[in-house]
Amino acid sequence: MRRIRANAIAILTVAWILGTFYYLWQDNKPQSSAAAASSASQTRGRSHGQKAVSGRLEIHRDDRTIPLILLGSFDEKDYLSRKLLKPGDDPYRDHAFNVQESDRLGGERAIRDTRHYRCASMSYDAELPSTSIIITFHNEARSTLLRTVKSVLMRSPPSLVQEIILIDDFSSDPEDCQLLAQIPKVRCLRNVRREGLIRSRVRGANAASASILTFLDSHCEVNTDWLQPMIQRVKEDHTRVVSPIIDVISLDNFAYLAASADLRGGFDWSLHFKWEQIPIEQKMARSDPTQPIRTPVIAGGIFVMDRSWFNRLGQYDTRMDIWGGENFELSFRVWMCGGSLEILPCSRVGHVFRKRHPYDFPEGNALTYIKNTRRAAEVWMDEYKQYYYSARPSAQGKVYGSITDRVALRKRLNCKPFRWYMENVYPELRVPEQEAVTSVLRQGGLCLEARGDSLGLGECRGIGATRPHSQVGATSGNQSTAALLTSFCCPPPQKWKPKGSVLQHLVSGLCLDSQTPMGPLVINPCRPQVASQSWEPQIIT
């Protein structure tokens, strides 16, 4: 009796083991498309289509499961767990974002498809050229870096990704990069000294083997079908340089947020990059939200460019250091030397925008930015560089190195003048002089003028003086006046209105007052009869 019972238990155990093996085998074997479709739709409810299994990825697109992408010998868990935040440490300290939240998400996650719904039905050439993806980084957090790499592998057609080239810009731990090279297609190049992102990207471009280059920051997550629209546009015309819409990954909680599809890149005369609304006429003319958006400049970090075109146009200005300014230099060069820049709304890439740099600048942040932007202004902006210097007086006299090679490059490429760029690419950028030289605001024998960021009264200088445009224009609704008054006193929206002889701030109802002669200006209750509030335009001919 006892023997029969023992046999029964043994048979049941064997059956259970076999059953388990059969189940696991079923789960691992490549699925037929019908089975895949049903499993994909089951998964979608939980995780928007991506299902992670340690060591491999399953990707669901168009209700099909794409064959598994192996992560090779790469051990994700080990990679991430070796570098976790220590209890009590400030999660913002090292990366200027909340690394604890990033680590919590791990190596991958599902994100919302933020494209316009019409993008999903766009079609692209069956045969597109492949690209080398270049990611430079200095002391990036492991979890953000890994998500950048994995999101590329997960959300790009495998045939389009020739390789992912990581350039480790002399980070403290060489393993951050080296370990990732265990993932198929991922290569790791380490700088022997800190070079900055500009020279690092050039190193990556020189090592690339595909005919198209794709640049990414090291804390991105690419979204559904991000790559095809960009490669298609560059394939059709190799002089196009294209960017995605850059979605926002919150630096606090890592939420993935859709960015507006109505923005393009712009700047002010201090060469400060800003996102700005597409001009209203262009917006009205856009009947198709999937159409490319022409942009005067690109943000700089995420773009696709034909490799031969990148090389022919002179890559980057490699005398620029660490960070900043290279996006203006590249943008001016592309437009002025026969190419174009566009943002493609059907391509979306998330990026963690930060409020400060988490890394050091060997020569200081301000000096480096001035050096880089000054090089861009000196080589590309012709007579318009004077507006850069008046917006950034501290740039004058700062060292910026030799520009001989870049000036020769511009000549060799026979590039158009900056005036052409202003007239054809960025007519919305107002030239301060046009307003300021026609009239300035005067009080007694003194003129209203900009002093760095503030306003004051100074000797009237007129045309031909060294800084004529630092004097502030008087026309009502005058933009440069408004801009200066904004920095001088009151938060936007800024509306100033000339009322008789006084200049009134519409929101507060107060008036501009030179209370203390030669001192900084203030706003006070309006008293039109008081001389210190009385302004008149002086026309300069």
Closest CA relative to residue 414, chosen from 333, 490, 475, 480: 333
Min separation Cβ 48 and Mn ion, Å? 25
Which among 289-297, 299-307, 405-413, 466-474 is the span making contact with ligand UD2, rule CB under 6 A? 299-307
Q: Does 301 bind ligand UD2 (CB under 6 A)?
A: yes
Q: Which partner in ligand UD2, Mn ion, none is near 133 (CB below 5 to 8 A by kind)?
A: none
For the CB of residue 286, give the shortest distance to ligand UD2 in the complex, in Å. 23
297 vs 436, beta carbon nearer ligand UD2? 297
Tokens of 153: 């592998």
247 binds Mn ion (CB under 5 A): no
Distances (CA, A) of 32 to 46, 50, 69, 516: 22, 18, 17, 83
200 binding partner (options ligand UD2, Mn ion, none; Cβ < 5 to 8 Å by kind): ligand UD2
Provide the 8-state DSSP code for 533. G
Count of residues near Mn ion by CB under 5 A? 1
Residue 87, token pair as written in the block: 């209890």
Q: Name the segment binding Mn ion (CB under 5 A); options: 92-100, 210-218, 426-434, 453-461.
A: 210-218
Number of residues that bind ligand UD2 (CB under 6 A): 25
The reply to whether 384 sits near ligand UD2 by the rule CB under 6 A is no
Residue from 64, 82, 272, 357 touching ligand UD2 (CB under 6 A): that is 357
Kindly state the smallest distance separating residue 144's Cβ from ligand UD2, in Å.
Answer: 9
Pick the closest to residue 198 from 425, 376, 380 (CA basis): 376
Nearer to Mn ion, 96 or 391 (CB): 96
343 DSSP β-pair partners: 243, 293
Contact between 351 and ligand UD2 per CB under 6 A = yes
- Compute the distance between CA of residue 223 and CA of residue 335 in angstroms, rounded to an integer: 28
Among 140, 168, 169, 217, binds Mn ion (CB under 5 A): 217
Binding of ligand UD2 at residue 218 (CB under 6 A)? yes
Least Å from the CB of residue 137 to Mn ion:
9
Give yes or no for residue 217 binding ligand UD2 (CB under 6 A). Answer: yes
The set of residues, in sequence order, having a beta carbon less than 8 Å from that of 411 and lying 6+ positions away, is none
| Structure-block tokens of residue 435 | 């307003």
Residues 6+ apart with CB under 8 A from 18: none
Instruction: Determine, following the binding rule CB under 5 A, whether residue 326 of this chain makes contact with Mn ion.
Output: no
Distance of closest approach, residue 351 Cβ to Mn ion, in angstroms: 6
For 287, the token pair is 């009947």
Beta-ladder partners of 245: 348
Do the strands 161-168 and 131-137 form a parallel or antiparallel pair, or are they unpaired? parallel
Instruction: Write out the binding residues for ligand UD2, residues 148-167 only, by CB under 6 A.
Output: none
Q: Residue from 76, 103, 108, 169 that binds ligand UD2 (CB under 6 A)?
A: 169
Task: Mark out the alpha helices in 220-341 (DSSP H runs).
Answer: 227-236, 280-285, 307-312, 326-336
Contact criterion met (CB below 8 Å) for 313 and 240: no
Site for ligand UD2 in 229-248 (CB under 6 A): 246
Nearest CA to 432 out of 394, 466, 472, 492 is that of 472
Give φ, ψ of 152 to 5 degrees. -65, -45
Q: What minimum distance in Å lies between the beta carbon of 389 and Mn ion?
A: 28
Specify the stretch interacting with ligand UD2 by CB under 6 A; choose among 120-128, 177-185, 192-200, 488-496: 192-200
Q: Give, as ranges, the residues between 391 and 450 that touch ligand UD2 (CB under 6 A).
A: none
Task: Assign 101 to helix, strand or coil.
Answer: helix
Give the separation between CA 256 and CA 297, rounded to whole angstroms.
24
169 binds Mn ion (CB under 5 A): no
Residue pair 220/97 in contact by the 8 Å Cβ criterion: no
> What are the residues binding Mn ion (CB under 5 A)?
217
> What are the residues binding ligand UD2 (CB under 6 A)?
136-138, 140, 169, 194, 196-197, 200, 217-218, 246, 299-302, 322-324, 326-327, 351, 354, 357, 359
